Amino acid sequence: MLLTVDLERLRIRPGERLLDAGCGEGRHCFGALERGARVVGIDLDRAPLRFASKPLRNRALELGSLGEMIHGNTFSLPFRAETFDRVICSEVMEHVHDYRAAARELARVTKPGGLVAVTIPTATSEHLYLRTGDDYFESPGGHTRIFRPRELSRGLAQAGLGTVGVGFAHALHTPYWVLRSVAGLPRADENRLVQLYRLFLIRATASPAMQRLEGVLNYCFPKSLIVYAEKAHRTRTRT
């Protein structure tokens, strides 16, 4: 399973509640569910929810756990404050205009001491895509900004989420998106080189040797940056 967030670093424990904000087809939802978490995914796009919500629910029933996907907005999460032990928001912040407001919502629903993982494309890969084609940033639903790590960390800190670590992922996907940008995103899927490289990625995902190679390449040209942050514990007042 292709995951951007390292679930080991997120320290998921059985029975904990996990929110995947911007879950898409639920890659992280399924991964966290297998680790014993009680999982809720939320996404603004209904199409992936229709595809993945039933399989997630069925797998949760097999495990005696919770696995649900709902339609909703990261800017207005339909949950009470301090509901979740762990929160994931993967490849979402670069699409929203007010990422600080989204960070505040993520912090609001996280329990004190809870961990949050936010992933974004690296600035290096984004500049590379921008130089190979305009569609990446001008297509509907495209990216609205190129993040720098400190910019994201400051936004999370302002929301009460202190950075505790960073990670990198998906170096083998960087050339793939370069090819898509050169081909033009609206018609990239019709390009033969794009099709061949996608097939390579599928095979690489199932190859331990290729995964080890990608782990090394992630230090050179990763596609994604992951910021791991913690919500501060409440301070107790002395009487």
Amino acid at position 113, single letter: G
Residue 237 lies in a domain: no
Residue 3 lies in a domain: no
Task: Count up the domains in the chain and report the number.
Answer: 1
Residue 43 lies in a domain: yes
pLDDT in tens, 4-49: 999 999 999 999 999 999 999 999 999 999 999 999 999 999 999 9
Element containing residue 33 per DSSP (H, E) = helix 27-34
Range of the domain at 96: 17-231
pLDDT in tens, 198-223: 999 999 988 999 999 999 999 999 99
Query: The CATH number of the domain where 140 resides is what?
Result: 3.40.50.150
Residue 86 lies in a domain: yes
Amino acid at position 208, single letter: P
Residue 214 lies in a domain: yes
Is-above-0.85 flag for pTM?
A: yes
Are 91 and 20 within 8 A, CB to CB? no
pLDDT in tens, 158-208: 999 999 999 999 999 999 988 988 888 778 889 999 999 999 999 998 899
Are 224 and 168 within 8 A, CB to CB? yes
Residue 92 lies in a domain: yes
Cβ-based neighbours of 94, under 8 Å, separated by 6 or more: 120, 121, 126, 143, 144, 145, 146, 147
Residue 100 lies in a domain: yes
Residue 5 lies in a domain: no
